[in-house]
Structure 1
Amino acid sequence: MQVKKLRWVGLFAIAMAYLESAVVVYLRRMYDLGDDLTKIPNFDRTITGIEIGREVATMVMLLTLGWIAGRRLQSRVAFAFFTFGVWDIFYYVWLWVFIGWPASPLTWDILFLVPVPWWGPVISPVLIASLMVAGGIVAIWVDDREWQIHPSKADWAMLFAGMGLALIAFMWDALGNLPLSPDEFDSIKPSSFPWGIYLPGLLLMVVAVWRVTWVSPRQKVKIQA
């Protein structure tokens, strides 16, 4: 049963989140950063490049573990989603344990620097991470029962549309300042979060994940029966 692997994969993701949050604590101390993360620190070019590389390396490590844990494509993708979601949630949990940040779910955070800076209230990535965890668990449970997951064209359309809207919301201010080089990252600052773009995107992703991991596999089983 692949479901039994979830505890160990989850433990790895929680430990990775500890490392990630520890690095952030170090950076805050080194650069004397406060709780206002609406402005990107004025890193030199070398540090900016290393930080971008660290983010990419973290994603590769998390997704690679998910790929190793699964037995075929659908469960590998599910484990990768689960791992990323747990890591993202516990990243904020550990930061709160270490330094009492974020003060609230609506506290702003710099989410990523690849390919341009992403910003958003903490609750916004946590909601998506929670969806990834829930969807990953259900998909792994489905795979254990030898049910096939075959997203329809409509499912793919909803999923990618939702992801696109969420990405636009996170990169809203950076996109308005393109073209942008890493040297110019510290010159932009978010204004207000576009909830009107983010929430429809989140809803589309929720519906798509629900259809793909639960509705569609069960319908196919009933038809075959």
Structure 2
Amino acid sequence: MDSPSTLLPGAAGPDRGGIRTTSLVVLAFGVAFGYLEAAVVVYLRAVIETGAVLPAQDPATLGTFEAVEILRELATVAMIATVGWLAGRSRLERLAWSAVVFGTWDIVYYLGLRWTIGWPPALDTWDVLFLIPMAWVGPVWAPMAVSAALIGVGLAAARRLRAGGSLRIGPTEIAGGLVGGALVIVSFLVDSERFLAGDLAPWSGWPLFLGGMVVAGLAAIRAFVVAGQRALATAPR
């Protein structure tokens, strides 16, 4: 027997024209914001030292500008959450749009750096991903994979909710999302100290990362599938 859960509905009634417009606007913001982030990093790199590595990858530079970087990251998260809030009509839809903005911003950020300064040279290039509460590190392909998943799940969730559908959010889905997310985060923390010390050995956190992605992915799929099954079961015959 299923554990107690909540079917979280979206806006009342279908609004398919609105979802297309909202999707385009949110994606456009994510693209613009991602390129802006890349441009900021290029400017910081030029100001600090011509020919220097990216600021967040140099331990000495990281220490000097750590407070600035942390505040910039907090501002980035606030802007992403604000756009998600404005785009959505319910708490869950707002979270879905925030995921879309985050994923688009992150992928375009790396594409913008590649286009402007030729970095990263490869998808397995190491990067410092986040600084709160400590440095998250990993190869570029890993955050891009997370971002692609966020875009896909976010768009699918927002579309269903805006059309008046629902998602099943119960203990199983919540636990799966939290455990999967925690595994992904830990995978970015396990090599932090050695990377900042200059050790660029292969990423040891990849098993945790893949496990986290699978667990979170299964939780997301269950949220869609179970809600769809219940909707069919209760539909007028």
Q: What's the TM-score once normalised by structure 2's chain length? A: 0.83
2:45–2:55 Cα contact (<8 Å) kept: no
- How far apart, in 2, do the equivalents of 1:19 and 1:76 lie? 23
Q: 1:8 aligns with which of 18, 25, 28?
A: 25
Residues 92 and 102, structure 1, Cα contact 8 Å, conserved in 2: yes
Give the percent of matched residue pairs that are identical in Structure 1 and Structure 2.
32
Once residues 81 and 28 of structure 1 are traced to their aligned partners in structure 2, the CA distance between those partners, rounded to angstroms, is 28
CA distance in 1, matches of 2:165, 2:183: 30
Q: CA deviation at 1:205?
A: 1.4
1:90 aligns with 2:100: no
SS at match of 2:168: coil
Aligned residue number for residue 40 of structure 1: 59
Asked whether 1:144 is paired with 2:154, we answer no
* Distance of 1:203 and 1:223 partners within structure 2: 28
Counterpart AA for 1:210: I
Q: Which has the larger radius of gyration?
A: 2
User: 1:13 Cα deviation (Å)?
Assistant: 1.0
SS of match in other structure, 1:34:
coil
Partner of 2:217: 206
Q: Deviations over 1:3-34 (max 9, x none)?
A: 22010111111111111111111122223323
Q: Is the 8 A contact 1:13 1:86 kept in 2?
A: yes
Question: CA–CA distance in 2 between the matches of 1:97 and 1:75?
Answer: 33
Q: Does 1:218 align with 2:228?
A: yes
Alignment length (residue pairs) = 215
Within-5 A mapping of 1:49-60: 49-60=67-78
Name the SS of the counterpart of 1:116 in structure 2: coil
Q: Distance in 2 between matches of 1:107 and 1:85?
A: 19
Aligned to 2:151: 133
Per-residue deviation at 1:60?
0.5
Q: Deviations over 1:33-74 (max 9, x none)?
A: 2379754343455x3211110111011001110011001112
Distance 1:164 1:190 in 2: 24
- Alignment root-mean-square deviation, CA: 2.2
User: Which secondary structure state, in structure 1, belongs to the residue aligned with residue 134 of structure 2?
Assistant: coil
Q: Would you say the 8 A contact 2:123–2:139 is kept in 1?
A: yes
Task: Identify which of 164, 167, 187 aligns with 2:185.
Answer: 167
Q: Tell me, which stretches of 5 or more residues in structure 2 are unaligned?
A: 1-14
CA displacement 1:196-224 (0-9 Å, x = unmatched) = 11111111111112222x21221121121
Distance 2:174 2:112 in 1: 34
Runs (4+) of structure 1 exceeding 4 A deviation are: 35-39, 185-191
Q: Distance in 1 between the 2:26 and 2:177 partners?
A: 25
- What are structure 1's unaligned runs of at least 5 residues? 178-184
CA-to-partner distance for each residue in 1:93-140, whole Å, 9 max, x for gaps?
A: 111111111111111111111110011111100111011000011101
